Amino acid sequence: MPTAEAIVPEQLVHEIPVTTRADMRVPARVFADGELWRQIEGDHSLEQLINVATLRGVSHCVYGMPDLHEGYGFPVGGVAAMRAADGVISPGGVGYDINCGVRLLAADLDAAAAAPELERFVHELSRSIPSGTGRGGRLALTDVELERVLAHGCRALVEQGLATSEDLDATEAHGCLTRADPAAVSQRARGRGRDQLGTLGSGNHFVEVQVVDRIEDAAAARALGLRAGRITVLIHTGSRGLGHQVCTDYVRLMDQAMPRYGITLPDRQLACAPFRSPEGQQYFGAMCAAANFAWANRQVITHRVREVFGRLFGAGGGLRLVYDVAHNMAKLEEHAGGLLVVHRKGATRAFGPKHPETPERYREVGQPVFIPGSMGTASYVMVGTDAALARSFGSACHGAGRVMSRHAAKRVQPGHEVRRELEARGIIVRCPSSGELAEEAPFAYKDVERVVDVVHGAGLARKVARLLPLGVVKG
């Protein structure tokens, strides 16, 4: 449980006392420096964080990560833990893209050696991995296959040769939440997800080819198998239409169930039910199943990336999974002896070396954490700290965080100009929509260097390596 002993430099933490609003049950704490705080104050994210602090059973404190920005219901970059015994679970606290997350693949191949084939590599990735929302992949599932994916996640893919045991070891929860209840996933949700396994989705989802630009912590980089100058591939996507529909279904169900539990809310999108209630358990089972679908989705994409990589560079280069971590999830976790439902909405689990859920191979350094920058800027590899358990329920941020609306970004610079600027910097771009490219322009995001400095300075995670983009396939 976070305590007063968990000291964070004063200039990197902003307290919102429990007395700020009469309905708050706990205080809120935001990790940000002066500039990030100024940006956070510029939208409705603090009001949203305060709303979260009113939820029944919320424990100790709610947290805002340095990439905090306005979402719907929960802010993006918000962390809140509810007591499992008497607290609620909220689908809006997880979001529509259940288990949206990132995974990093590392190659034993120097970027310099790969350079002649790099454009072909990015182009072939864009051909092999369907991108836009609702755009089916090549892996349409039968009812039985979909059921297995919902129940077993990545484990369901091992027999088909789409995943290895090493991949499972390098995936949060081994790519399978055992509390999954496929029966709680509606036919409508199955209909939306059936042909979407192995697809990227739209918005800020991407596959990015990168080079390890700088090592910040040599020992940790060694443990993660990262070397300067080598190629990496970062994959960002989630549970696609299946997860979206699970959230839609359960926001509706809980919205109607709340009067029975005497729950009133400052924002209807925070619709929730007691975790121990039938509705709470049903949602948790469906959410776990959707999370399993998301891990399987990233695994199938990994398989496609490896196929393309193998064709162009030979099997010798390899593409090893460093780690896969979720950033939209509710997890049952023990914190200081209490069982909590930790909601991370646009926030990454960041467990330290001593935590039992940190993979065996990373017990010396901590669980890997990935912080993608905006398209065209650096991304960071970090590792979780044991101190983060006391500071943020073992959580760090999930990206740079938006600072400009999509609408405004398109007004500032059209997509073709964004593409031209990126290409002028040597970054290969494949994106089916010029408009969506404009929405994801680098200037629409916060400064990732500043965000990562706060995460590092606040002791939520430690810097390991900086990655620079070479090519990007946008959803």
* φ/ψ (deg, to 5) at 296: -65, -35
Do 180 and 146 touch, CB atoms closer than 8 A?
no
- The alpha helices in 131-275, defined as continuous H runs, are 143-152, 165-169, 187-193, 218-224, 240-257
Q: Is 248 in the site for other proteins (CB under 8 A)?
A: yes
Binder among 128, 199, 202, 232 for other proteins (CB under 8 A): 202
Q: Is 317 in the site for other proteins (CB under 8 A)?
A: no
Q: Is 164 in the site for other proteins (CB under 8 A)?
A: no
Would you call 421 exposed, middle or buried from its count of C-beta atoms within 10 A (0-12, 13-18, 19+)? middle
Active site residues: 398
Cα separation, 242 vs 215, in Å, equals: 38
Here's the x/- map for other proteins, 421-450, by CB under 8 A: it reads as ------------x-xx--------------
Q: Compute the least distance from the CB of residue 170 to other proteins, in Å.
A: 28
Closer residue to other proteins (CB): 3 or 405? 405
Q: Angle at Cα 148 formed by Cα 147 and Cα 150, nearest 5°?
A: 65
Q: Interaction with other proteins in 93-122: which residues (CB under 8 A)? A: 95-97
Q: Is 67 in the site for other proteins (CB under 8 A)?
A: no
Secondary structure (3-state) at 400:
coil
Q: What are the distances in angstroms from CA 367 to CA 27, 36, 170?
A: 28, 26, 10
Closer residue to other proteins (CB): 71 or 471? 71
Binder among 18, 110, 134, 332 for other proteins (CB under 8 A): 134
Q: Compute the least distance from the CB of residue 401 to other proteins, in Å.
A: 9
Q: Compute the least distance from the CB of residue 134 to other proteins, in Å.
A: 3
* φ/ψ (deg, to 5) at 335: -130, 110
Binder among 244, 344, 391, 430 for other proteins (CB under 8 A): 244
Can you list the positions of beta strands (E) in 175-291?
A: 206-215, 230-237, 273-274
Q: Quick one: tokens of 325?
A: 């971590």
- Tell me how crowded residue 166 is: count the other CB atoms within 10 A of its CB: 11
Binder among 119, 408, 412, 420 for other proteins (CB under 8 A): 408
Stretch that binds other proteins, among 169-177, 281-289, 371-379, 398-406 (CB under 8 A): 398-406
Closer residue to other proteins (CB): 134 or 414? 134
Binding site for other proteins (CB under 8 A): 43, 45, 69-73, 76, 92, 95-97, 132-135, 188, 191-192, 202-203, 241, 244-245, 247-248, 251-252, 255-256, 267-269, 271, 402-408, 433, 435-436
